Structure 1
Amino acid sequence: MNYYIITGTSRGLGEAIVQQLLVEGNTLICISRTENKQLVTLAVSKQIPMIYKTGDISNENLVEKLVTEIFEEINFSGAEKITLLNNAGTIDPIKPVGKATNQDLIANVKVNLLAPILLCTEFIKRTEAFQGDRVIVNVSSGAANRPISGWSTYCSTKAGLDMFTKTLGLEQVESNSTLKAISFSPGVMDTEMQQTIRGSERADFSSVDQFKGYHEKGMLRTPETVASILLKFLETSFENGQVYDIKDLI
């Protein structure tokens, strides 16, 4: 049995990943603020085991509770592979520095950076004795590599997540661990996050017209396409601690 723990499954890439993993031999553990009832119904119709946990991972105290519940669901003796996919993320606040509220800034850092760090930490602790394959995928962004006006917190948290992944991967190599951790940059996708970006005020986000152009010119990949590319890539041999951009995988 292969276990997949996936955050941010209520929509977008997370939802598409789950849809494609609903096959025999997999057990899915989904985490999002609200339950994706369509996914639950699909899992039942396909008779694929799915456990759905709802909660806001920006609440660091809730993360530990969720992790405890999650690992109670895993039958380690019958597991061959356990994968953690840190997909949940937020673009908000889209504001120049000094214009966003402290509350919004804190929530962004907690969802995009702190929660994945905590989940990775707990994952490693709780699977230390597991003899099967262990994989961590942290969903990154091209914004991790370049400054974008209005996206200071998003750019910073994704850059931080990439560096965390690189460091985590290095530690696994040095300790001869079988665990592999990578970051994956999915490029621009046709998701609700892109709708939020296109709805920004130019005063807050000077590049808004560029992103409107991506949509108008049909340059956005579907979440289903991105999910397929990622899952096929995870079946190959990849290097620990690396940041992989979707452009290099197609």
Structure 2
Amino acid sequence: MKYFIITGTSRGLGKALTEQLIQEDNTIFCISRRQNNELKNLAAKEGVNLYYFSCDLQKVEETERVMEKIFTTIDFTNAEGIYLINNAGMVEPIQPIGKTGSSDIAMNIEVNLIAPMILSTSFIRYTAEINTMKMIVNISSGAANRPIYGWATYCSSKAGLDMFTKTVAFEQDSEESPVTVISFSPGVMDTDMQASIRQSDESDFKDVEKFKEYHESGQLRAPETVSHALLQLILNGTPENGRVYHITELV
């Protein structure tokens, strides 16, 4: 049995990952603000265990309690692999620093960086004595590597997430039963996040016309395509610990 813990599964990449993992010998734990009934019905039809946990990823204690509940459910004697995919994220606030509200900055960092850090430390703690395949996948962004006008908070949170990936991987290299930790940058996808970006005011986000062009010219990849490439890497490939992968390497 393989166990998957995935955040942000109600739509976009998280939904696509969950849908493609609904198959025999997988158990899926979804951490999401909203349940996706389509996924629940598909899992029931296929006889696959899928559990939803409602969680506010801005709250540390709540996030820790969810992980405790999940790990009391896992049968470690039967675990061929345990995977955590930190997918939940937000691009807002889309505004240059100075115009952005302090609470909006804090929310972005809490969801994009602090929550994956808390989830990862719980994952490593609960699996420390387990000798099986263990992997953490942090969903990153190309914005981690270049400044984008109006995205200071998002760029910073994703850059921090990539450094977190590299540092934890370095720490795990010396462990007896290490966790493989990677980042994955999915590129531009046809998701609700992209739709939100296209609604931005040009005074707040100078690249808004470029992102509209991505959509109009069909340059946005389907989440299902990106999901398939990522799952091929983590389930059938040999991911390099600490590496930041980009979708263009895989398709």
Deviations for 1:199-227, whole angstroms, at most 9, x for unmatched residues? 00011101100000000000000000000
Deviations for 1:49-91, whole angstroms, at most 9, x for unmatched residues? 1111012212222111111111111111111110000000000
Shift of 1:177: 3.6
Gaps of 5+ in 2: none
- SS of corresponding position for 1:100: coil
- Structure 2 equivalent of residue 243 of structure 1: 244
Equivalent runs, 1:86-235 vs 2, <5 Å: 86-234=86-234, 235=236
Worse-superposed segment, 45-54 or 174-183? 174-183
- SS of corresponding position for 1:174: coil
CA contact (8 A) 2:128 2:177 kept: no
CA contact (8 A) 1:6 1:29 kept: yes
* CA-based RMSD: 0.8
Q: How many residues align?
A: 250
- Structure 2 equivalent of residue 64 of structure 1: 64
- Structure 1 equivalent of residue 16 of structure 2: 16
CA contact (8 A) 1:137 1:184 kept: yes
Using the size of structure 2 for normalisation, the TM-score is 0.98
User: How many percent identity over aligned positions?
Assistant: 51
Shift of 1:143: 0.2
**CA distance, structure 1, for counterparts of residue 76 and residue 11 of structure 2:** 29
Shift of 1:175: 2.9
Deviations for 1:129-152, whole angstroms, at most 9, x for unmatched residues? 111110110000000000000000
CA contact (8 A) 2:93 2:105 kept: yes
- SS of corresponding position for 1:150: coil
CA contact (8 A) 1:7 1:14 kept: yes
CA contact (8 A) 2:131 2:177 kept: no
Q: Does 1:32 align with 2:25?
A: no
* Paired residue type of 2:153: T
**CA distance, structure 1, for counterparts of residue 108 and residue 60 of structure 2:** 13
CA contact (8 A) 2:130 2:177 kept: no
**CA distance, structure 1, for counterparts of residue 19 and residue 26 of structure 2:** 12
CA contact (8 A) 1:60 1:110 kept: no
* Paired residue type of 2:242: G
| Structure 1 consecutive aligned stretches of length 4 or more whose deviation exceeds 2 Å | 174-178
Using the size of structure 1 for normalisation, the TM-score is 0.98
**CA distance, structure 1, for counterparts of residue 203 and residue 155 of structure 2:** 18
Shift of 1:178: 3.2
Shift of 1:102: 1.0
Shift of 1:176: 4.7
- SS of corresponding position for 2:237: coil
- SS of corresponding position for 1:4: strand
CA contact (8 A) 2:16 2:227 kept: yes
Deviations for 1:9-51, whole angstroms, at most 9, x for unmatched residues? 0100000000000010100000101111111111101110111
Shift of 1:96: 0.6
* Paired residue type of 1:247: T
- Structure 1 equivalent of residue 48 of structure 2: 48
CA contact (8 A) 1:94 1:151 kept: yes
